């Protein structure tokens, strides 16, 4: 151990060995550097131990161990937390990445999904039965963080947020208890994990409601970066056809074969369609999207649903340096569109995207107090997500994303989606949870009075 290495307790592995079946990785082990890595390279932390849990028993043992010894505990599902909450210095990382089992029940149209699954795992397993549920738009993102934060994706307008499709969780709480939560049983916890983040415990398995969605019409249509295109997109969403998931993106042209080379690396906007309606309306939908403006390039085809959620996978691999901000808007005000045009023109890299998720339709049919996710009056959730190849470039772009966010602020609601904001937004917890914060605090106080689960958008007990 060098002088600059923080002191660690050499007995951690020995102490855990008897109660944990999964692998234990400590500094000095050959795969320590791999085990400590998270998706966002900005967070280069050195935990004292990484526990690669294989079952709920491992989770209970690790939670109890960290609590009793007063160690910092980071819980990692898919490791995509932009704020780097899936790792920590000197503490314990509970990595659920080996817990990837899924059981689909086609009879009840539900899937039980272990806490370390990614959306690729879920989409593949459910597609085999012609079923799907709302999930993230990048297949490598974990179900754990995304679901507990609320969860948005292409199917949200038709099927609701991810947390709206959650019918049950198995949860390990701070005192090491294993609780099954439903709307009838431990219903306070069930309510809280639908949007309250990782504050209440470790979800070892999620049960999701599934929908008969197998193949879709989907893919991107690119347009010049122009306010009129975005205003026409706003009209398209206002038509209210919930079968059309349509993500607006603003960024730089990616080098894909269906976009002419002269547009590669140049500012543009695009609509990623995901039409879940009947096939005989495909042409109408394709034309409707193309009517938003002069089409620079498009690839809108019949696809298996899992495929639409892989379109961005290669663009944003693990190892980039990312720093995000988020906003909710009611409608899509002209001022927000002006900000997209101004800041979109100076998007810092091809991997950096402004993503605008419509969250109307089924998301609005759930009341603001029915789940911890309160922004049921928001029509759009915006992610400003710069991703750069070096730490220095990323640090330099913090000013850009800060200015962009400030430009959006007059047209945004007070809070933002907790999964689209960074750790320096902790002071916005009240705004992010609004009227639900008092009840969330009560639940937190009851189940985690010592704030063991604090590496998240923290609801302080």
Footprint of ligand FAD (CB under 6 A): 39, 75-82, 85-86, 96, 115, 136-138, 141-142, 144-146, 148-149, 151-153, 198, 202-203, 316, 419, 455-456
Q: Which is nearer to ligand FAD, 200 or 411 (CB)?
A: 200
User: 269 vs 359, which CB is nearer to ligand FAD?
Assistant: 359
Q: Which residue's structure tokens are 């709307």?
A: 183
The distance of closest approach from Cβ of residue 265 to ligand FAD in the complex, given in angstroms and rounded to an integer, is 20
CA distances to 59, 86, 116 from 147, rounded to whole Å, are 19, 15, 12
Which ranges of 197-344 does DSSP label H, i.e. alpha helix? Answer: 227-238, 282-290, 305-308, 334-344
Residue with smallest beta-carbon separation from ligand FAD:
144
Dihedral over alpha carbons 127, 376, 174, 74 (to 10 degrees): 70
Nearer Cβ to ligand FAD, position 153 or 253? 153
Smaller CB distance to ligand FAD: residue 148 or 412? 148
CA 250 from centre of chain:
19
d(CA 21, CA 369): 40
Q: Per-residue DSSP letters for 103-169? A: EEETTTTEEEEETT-BHHHHHHHHHTTT-B----SSTTSBHHHHHHH----TTHHHH--GGGGEEEE
**Pick 228 or 377: Cβ nearer ligand FAD:** 377
- Closest CB to ligand FAD among residues 142, 293: 142
Is the Cβ–Cβ distance between 74 and 85 less than 8 Å?
A: yes
What are the DSSP calls for 87-104, one per residue? --SSSEEEE-TT---EEE
Computed over its alpha carbons, how large is the radius of gyration of the chain? Answer: 22
**In terms of CB distance, is 45 or 266 closer to ligand FAD?**
45
Q: How far is the CB of 87 from ligand FAD (least distance, A)?
A: 8
CA 406/CA 209 separation, integer angstroms: 38
CB of 226 to ligand FAD, least distance (A): 25
Query: What is the closest distance, in whole angstroms, from the C-beta atom of residue 80 to ligand FAD in the complex?
Result: 3
Instruction: Give the shortest CB-457-to-ligand FAD separation in angstroms.
Output: 8
CB of 219 or CB of 293, closer to ligand FAD: 219
Report in angstroms the alpha-carbon separations of 346 from 162, 229, 251, 339, 350.
Answer: 32, 18, 9, 11, 11
Intra-chain end-to-end CA distance of the chain, in Å: 37
Q: How far is the CB of 165 from ligand FAD (least distance, A)?
A: 13
Task: Please report how close the Cβ of residue 338 comes to ligand FAD at its closest, in angstroms.
Answer: 25
Between 81 and 397, whose beta carbon lies closer to ligand FAD?
Answer: 81
By CB atoms closer than 10 A (0-12, 13-18, 19+), residue 358 is: buried
Main-chain dihedrals φ then ψ at residue 405, nearest 5 degrees: -65, -40
Closest distance of CB 134 from ligand FAD, Å: 9
Shortest distance (Å) from residue 427 CB to ligand FAD: 17
Cβ distance to ligand FAD smaller for residue 81 or 221? 81
Smallest distance from the beta carbon of 279 to ligand FAD, in angstroms? 25
| Distance (Å) of CA 280 to CA 13, 286, 378 | 60, 11, 32
Nearer to ligand FAD, 121 or 296 (CB): 121
Nearest Cα neighbor of 448 from 76, 256, 188, 238 is 188
Q: Which residues are within 8 A (CB) of 4 and not within 5 positions of it... i.e. 6 or more apart?
A: none
Query: Residue 356 and residue 229: Cα distance in Å, rounded?
Result: 14
Q: How far is the CB of 351 from ligand FAD (least distance, A)?
A: 9
Q: How far apart are CA 17 and CA 271, in angstroms?
A: 51
Buried b (16+ CB within 10 A) or exposed e, 398-426: eebbeebbebbeebbbebbbbbbbbbebe
């Amino acid at each position: 151990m060098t002088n600059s290495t923080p002191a660690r307790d050499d007995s951690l592995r020995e102490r855990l060995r008897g109660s944990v079946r999964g692998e234990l990785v400590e500094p000095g082990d050959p795969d320590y550097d791999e085990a400590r890595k998270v998706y966002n390279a900005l967070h280069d932390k050195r935990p004292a131990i990484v526990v690669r849990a294989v079952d709920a028993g491992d989770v209970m043992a690790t939670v109890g161990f960290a609590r009793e010894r007063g160690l910092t505990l980071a819980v990692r599902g898919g490791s995509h937390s932009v704020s780097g909450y899936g790792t920590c210095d000197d503490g314990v990382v509970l990595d659920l990445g080996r817990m990837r089992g899924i059981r689909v029940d086609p009879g009840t149209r539900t899937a039980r999904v272990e806490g370390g699954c990614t959306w690729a795992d879920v989409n593949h397993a459910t597609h085999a039965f012609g079923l799907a549920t709302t999930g993230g738009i990048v297949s490598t993102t974990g179900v754990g963080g995304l679901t507990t934060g609320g969860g948005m994706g292409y199917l949200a307008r038709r099927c609701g947020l991810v947390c709206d499709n959650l019918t049950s969780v198995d949860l390990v709480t701070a005192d090491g208890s294993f609780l099954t939560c439903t709307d009838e049983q431990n219903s306070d916890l069930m309510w809280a994990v639908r949007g309250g983040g990782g504050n209440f415990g470790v979800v070892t398995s999620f049960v999701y409601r599934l929908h008969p969605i197998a193949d879709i019409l989907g893919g991107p249509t690119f347009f010049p970066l122009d306010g009129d295109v975005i205003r026409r997109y706003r009209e398209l969403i206002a038509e209210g056809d919930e079968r059309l998931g349509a993500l607006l993106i603003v960024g730089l042209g990616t080098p894909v074969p269906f976009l002419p080379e002269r547009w590669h690396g140049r500012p543009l906007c695009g609509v990623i369609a995901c039409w879940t309606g009947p096939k005989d309306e495909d042409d109408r939908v394709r034309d409707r999207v193309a009517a938003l403006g002069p089409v620079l390039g498009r690839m809108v085809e019949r696809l298996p649903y899992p495929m639409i959620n892989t379109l961005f996978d290669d663009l944003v691999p693990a190892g980039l340096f990312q720093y995000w901000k988020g906003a909710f808007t009611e409608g899509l005000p002209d001022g927000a569109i002006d900000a997209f045009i101004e800041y979109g023109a100076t998007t810092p890299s091809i991997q950096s995207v402004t993503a605008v998720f419509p969250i109307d339709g089924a998301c609005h049919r759930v009341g603001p107090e029915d789940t911890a996710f309160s922004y049921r009056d928001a029509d759009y959730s915006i992610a400003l997500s710069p991703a750069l190849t070096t730490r220095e470039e990323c640090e330099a772009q913090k000013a850009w994303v800060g200015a962009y966010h400030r430009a959006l602020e007059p047209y945004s609601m007070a809070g933002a989606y907790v999964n689209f904001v960074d750790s320096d937004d902790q002071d916005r917890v009240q705004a992010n949870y609004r009227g639900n914060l008092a009840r969330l605090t009560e639940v937190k106080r009851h189940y985690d009075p010592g704030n063991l689960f604090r590496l998240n958008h923290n609801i302080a007990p």
